[in-house]
Amino acid sequence: MRSEVDVFREFLAHKEMRFTPEREAILAEVFAEHDHFDVEELIMRLRQKGQRISRASVYRTLALLVASGLVQEVFYEDGHMHYEHIYGHDHHCHLRCLGCRSIVEFRDPAVEEAEKRIGRGHDFATTGHRLDIYGYCRQCREKKE
C-alpha cells in the first residue's frame, strides 16, 4: 500500500499544488497517532514539536486532507469539528459514551450489509455511511450507582 505521503503528494500534484513543509508537517502529525482530534489539539501538538504553523494553514491543509480522502470529519461537538485519519484503516463506526465522552471504534458486517440493502430498497447508489451509537460505558454506569 502506498504511504499517506505518496497519496497526498499525488493528490496535490494532480491539482498543481505543492507539497510544502507545512503540509508535510501537518500530514505527519495527523497520522502520528490514531485518535479523534480537533483543530486546536492539532495546532498544540505541532507546537510541541516546534512547528509553528498558522491556524489558517492548518484549516486549509485539513480541508485538502479531507478532499483527498486521507482524513474524514468524524463529528461536530463542543461547537467545532473533529477529525480522524482513515487512510490505512478499514471503515469503522463509533460507540460514544455520554458520560465520559470516550469513544470506542467498532466494525460490523451487519451494518455494512444494511447500507447496501437499504440503499437498494430506496434506489440510492450508496457511497458510505456514518453510524454513532450512544450510551454509557461500564465505568460511567458504576460511577452513577
Partner DNA sequence: TTGATATTGAGAATCAATCGCAGATGAGAT
Partner DNA sequence: ATCTCATCTGCGATTGATTCTCAATATCAA
- Which residues are at the interface with a second copy (CB under 8 A)? 76, 95, 97-98, 104, 106, 108, 110-111, 113-115, 117-119, 121-138, 141
Could you give the count of Cα atoms lying within 13 Å of 78 in the half-sphere of its Cβ?
A: 7
Binding partner at 141 among Mn ion, DNA, a second copy, none, C-beta below 5 to 8 Å by kind: a second copy
DSSP state of 83: E
Tell me how far, at minimum, the Cβ of 56 lies from DNA, in Å.
Answer: 4
Q: Which residues are bridge partners to 9 per DSSP?
A: none
Burial of 121 (0-12, 13-18, 19+ CB in 10 A): exposed
Q: Which residues are bridge partners to 103 per DSSP?
A: 96
CA–CA dist 110, 115 (Å, integer): 9
19 vs 136, beta carbon nearer DNA:
19
Contact flag: residue 38 with Mn ion (CB under 5 A): no
* Residue 113 in grid coordinates: 450489509
Tell me how far, at minimum, the Cβ of 6 lies from DNA, in Å.
Answer: 15
Tell me how far, at minimum, the Cβ of 12 lies from DNA, in Å.
Answer: 6
- Binding region for Mn ion (CB under 5 A): 84, 105
- Binding region for Zn ion (CB under 5 A): 97, 99-100, 137, 140
